[in-house]
Amino acid sequence: MLQRIREKSQGIIAYTLVGVIALTFALWGVQSLVGAMGNDGSTMAKVEGTSITRPDVERRAQEMLRQVLSNNDQVSPEDINQDMLRQFALNELIQKAVVRHSADQLDMRVSDALVERMIVQNPAFADDQGRFDAELFKQRLRQQGLTPVAYRQQLHEQLLAQQLIGGVAASEFVLPEEAAATQALVTQTRDYQYAVLSAKALADKIELSDQDLDTYYQAHLDRYMAPEHIQVQYVVLDPQDFADDINVTDDQYQQAYERYREQMSKTEQRSAAHILLTFDSPAEREKQMSRLETMRKQLASGEADFADLAQQYSEDPATADKGGELGVIQPGSLDDQFETALDQLKKVGDISPVVETPYGLHLIELTGLNAKPVPPLSDVKSQLRQQIIQQPLKAKMSDRIETLKNLSFSRDQLTQVADEMNLKLSESPILVKGQLTGFWAEDKVAAALFSKEITEDHWISEPVSLKDGRYVAFQSEEYQPRQQQALSEVKDDVRKQLLKERVADQNWARAEQMLDALEQGKQPSLSWQSVDNAARGRSEAPAAVNQQAFKLTLDAQDVARVHLSDGDVALVKLNAVHRPKVSPDSDGVSNFQQALIRRQMQQQQQMMLSQLRQQADVEMSNGAGQP
């Protein structure tokens, strides 16, 4: 009895446990238990406790990549910064999670019925009459790799996000007064004058000492660097060079030609007709065999027609009606015995002996032969020669490569190698790293050129294979690492640069003196040019002058100087501002209203999103910020 109570009480504990688990499920759903299992270390961010994992981000980044690539033909995957893409993806996923969380917090709900209505009303899923088509719906989803359940969930989330964020945009307005004020501001025109101080004459008066040049050179050393470059001697091993030495005998030609003819014959097409008789027993086989023999004799003597016989007697229901015609026989498509027999028929109308296949006994007639004429040997001789010498050429080439390899390893100078192998020794142009052309630009060659063995150790390179089948080996003649250019080499460049800067500086200082003079009420000799009714971004004056004019005040003392090209400087002075009177009721205002509202809607959405994000608990994992 005690034993039983103990068993029972264990039962009670078990029941209680099950009860607790069931209650947990009922109240908080499966998520509560799964979520409690913790995180596997791949979390990149947490939004209100929900993890965004590395695989999530990776998946989204790949989706984005596919979108970008499918929209831009010219873009290749290498052009796209993957890290940046991952940042975008992470950001988007965080944004989505924030919106989801906020919508939930704000008690926003979207019913299944609403989701269903959106699906049914979506024109993408409608048939010709505009009615929802369930098949089309499934098909469209399949194209996107989505299940209906996943799509509904996506749509549900989208609708919530639209309600939350879209509401702020869709309720935005622009008052006509606001649009009118903006229009007045944007379409304002101004009258101003400007005077250009040319830098041209200044250059002649500037004296640059060697000391000046040296100072400038020392201050800009990184501008005067010679790139890494090399010049080499090289030999090229070209298989074509000894292809001519290989002899081809007439016998070899003959054999190759036979093979060639055989190949050609394989491309011919044969059509056939047949008469099939089947049997169930050896006795019946004998009987059918003799029937076919009889038919064969009748056909040979011309008493009967193959098609007629096939129609009357053939037990192949698929072809009997068509006079036994099987059409063009693709090699390998029928039974071996059948095809062998067919191949032995030489001309149209020939009839085979009785052939046995697993289907039964056949008589076969060749009904069509479409063969291309085989060109004579003389026409294909050079083509055959290429084939014949391929093997010996390869063997000879690999011998030569082996020799070159050994020699380039054992000799000190490439000259010796060239002599011993009777190869032509050439000299390369100066090869600049990063600006290689021709076969020097091939990856393998470029890597070998600037390797330590070549540049420092002065070794002969191993033979490097080129894309066109040739081999090259080289040895450095002269090598320069990336290095500082001496002032003497670049003196002219330095002088030009420094002069340009000095001129610009002097001119700028001259402009300041002018400004001071103007301020003191003097009239320095300047040739002022007037511009009337200049609009923003549109005037006959240089762009920098016009921009400056729209920053000036009407204060008579307010004169500004701006940099132009080539060291020139302009002085600008504002004369008048023309502010158009724009009434909120005027016609043009509504255009401005349209443009403004679009921008404001977008801005408000952005601000709302960042406000929600600020308020949500968003945690970035270490390293998620800079992948």
Q: How many CB atoms lie within 10 A of CB 571?
A: 22
Closest C-alpha to 545, from 580, 581, 566, 573 = 573
- Answer for which of 8, 381, 579, 598 binds another protein (CB under 8 A) is 579
- What is the distance between the alpha carbons of residues 27 and 23, in angstroms, rounded to a whole number? 6
Q: Identify which of residues 133 and 172 has a Cβ nearer to another protein in the complex.
A: 172
- What is the distance between the alpha carbons of residues 504 and 566, in angstroms, rounded to a whole number? 8
- Which window, 178-186, 292-300, 504-512, 525-533, contacts another protein (CB under 8 A)? 178-186
552 binds another protein per the rule CB under 8 A: yes
- What is the distance between the alpha carbons of residues 391 and 385, in angstroms, rounded to a whole number? 11
107 binds another protein per the rule CB under 8 A: yes
114 binds another protein per the rule CB under 8 A: yes
Minimal distance in Å, beta carbon 162 to another protein? 8
What is the token pair recorded at 24? 């947990």
- What is the distance between the alpha carbons of residues 543 and 525, in angstroms, rounded to a whole number? 24
Query: In the stretch 305-324, what mask flags binding to another protein with x, by CB under 8 A?
Result: --------------------
- Answer for which of 84, 134, 175, 206 binds another protein (CB under 8 A) is 175
Is residue 313 packed enough to be buried (19+ CB in 10 Å), middle (13-18) or exposed (0-12)?
Answer: middle
- What is the distance between the alpha carbons of residues 396 and 422, in angstroms, rounded to a whole number? 15
- What is the distance between the alpha carbons of residues 342 and 55, in angstroms, rounded to a whole number? 61
Minimal distance in Å, beta carbon 522 to another protein? 24
Strand partners, 50: 47
Angle between helices 377-410 and 250-266 (to 10 degrees): 120
Q: Identify which of residues 110 and 136 has a Cβ nearer to another protein in the complex.
A: 110
- Answer for which of 64, 65, 68, 108 binds another protein (CB under 8 A) is 108
274: enclosing H helix or E strand: strand 269-277
Amino acid at 308: D
343 binds another protein per the rule CB under 8 A: no
Provide φ and ψ at 365, rounded to 5°.
Answer: -115, 135
- Answer for which of 15, 25, 28, 173 binds another protein (CB under 8 A) is 173
545 binds another protein per the rule CB under 8 A: no
3 binds another protein per the rule CB under 8 A: no
- Answer for which of 348, 444, 606, 619 binds another protein (CB under 8 A) is 606
**Count of residues in contact with another protein, rule CB under 8 A:** 55
163 binds another protein per the rule CB under 8 A: yes
Provide φ and ψ at 33, rounded to 5°.
Answer: -80, -45
Amino acid at 313: Y
170 binds another protein per the rule CB under 8 A: yes
- Which window, 21-29, 45-53, 284-292, 458-466, contacts another protein (CB under 8 A)? 21-29
Exposed e or buried b per residue across 50-80, where buried means at least 16 C-beta atoms within 10 angstroms of its C-beta:
ebbbbebbbebbeebbeeeeeeeeeeeeeeb
What's the DSSP call for residue 163? I
- Answer for which of 12, 84, 106, 208 binds another protein (CB under 8 A) is 106
Of residues 142 through 161, those in contact with another protein by CB under 8 A are 159
Q: Identify which of residues 171 and 626 has a Cβ nearer to another protein in the complex.
A: 171
- Answer for which of 53, 188, 357, 455 binds another protein (CB under 8 A) is 188
Q: Edge-to-edge strand order for the sheet containing 559-563?
A: 529-535, 189-197, 569-578, 559-563
- Answer for which of 385, 510, 536, 563 binds another protein (CB under 8 A) is 536
Residues contributing to the site for another protein (CB under 8 A) = 1-2, 23, 26-27, 106-111, 113-114, 159, 162-164, 166-168, 170-173, 175-178, 181-182, 185-186, 188, 536, 550-555, 558, 574, 576-577, 579, 603-604, 606-608, 610-612, 614-615
